[in-house]
Amino acid sequence: MATNTMNKKYINKRVLALPNKHRFSVKNILFWIKTQQEIANQCHKQAFSLKGTKQLRIQAKQKNADVYIREMRSYLRTGLWTNGACGQLFFGKLEEERTKGDYFEA
């Protein structure tokens, strides 16, 4: 399985049924995963050339990207988006969008 794709047999059927224009469609999620992988890779490379608090900040950014990727892959398998906090759901290419509610089920 390639890093920015997922075999269709592992993707939840309800997620596959969503139209491409839906905010939680397979197409969007795979694009978001690719974006986060690029961020994580860039942070990983930068961390070697930094020291102190700058290095810690960039490592935290990498860890956040890795966690978000894991959450998105879980959604593709289960059809349940659960990364909400405080009654809000976080999503988007950069996890920058929020909506009311703390989960989405395909």
pLDDT tens digits, 39-98? 999 999 998 888 999 999 999 999 999 999 999 999 999 999 876 655 567 788 878 777
The band of 3, judged by pLDDT with boundaries at 50, 70 and 90, is: very low
3-state SS, 6-75, equals: CCHHHCCHHHHHCCCCCCCCHHHHHHHHHHHHHHHHHHHHHHCCCCHHHHHHHHHHHHHHHHHHHHHHHH
Per domain, the residue ranges of the chain are 23-105
Q: Tell me, what's the pLDDT at 26?
A: 96
Q: Tell me, what's the pLDDT at 105?
A: 76
